[in-house]
Amino acid sequence: MAEEPGIAAGANCQLFAYRVLMHFGLDAPALRSSELWADTERTTRVSAPRPLDLVLVNATGDAWGAHVGVWVDDDQILHLSSEVGHPAVWSMDDFAARDRYRTVIGFKRVTRRLPE
């Protein structure tokens, strides 16, 4: 992953999600949401998420500017949003209840691990 500022210096949803995955040994690409959705080198689209998969949601089905979170388990997504101001875990219903997050674009699985 490219060198980026730490979360203490300020983070967005993508940077937060990628740092969470790095903590668990996954090599998440430092991509914007639309680039992430299009990526096939280090991620793959999946229809049924499992823990540590990325979740993309937006107001529409467009991946550009989508919000990115990390699937925790059993319909729970860890994410960072300006609405809350700190990391939070929401259900899919919590996202659907907000216009800007109402559309699930899909799920991406990071396919590379960090070198040991």
What share of the chain in percent tops pLDDT 70?
91
- Is the pLDDT at 115 greater than 60? The verdict is yes
Q: What residues are paired with 57 via a beta bridge?
A: 67, 104
Whole-number pLDDT of residue 17? 96
Q: What is the mean pLDDT of the chain?
A: 92
What is the pTM for the complete model shown? 0.90
Choose the weakest-confidence range: 3-17, 64-78, 88-102: 3-17
Asked if the model's pLDDT at residue 101 lies above 80, the reply is: yes
* Superfamily of chain region 11-110: endopeptidase domain like (from Nostoc punctiforme) (3.90.1720.10)
Look at residue 11 in the predicted model and tell me its pLDDT.
75
Give me the residue spans of the domains in the chain.
Answer: 11-110
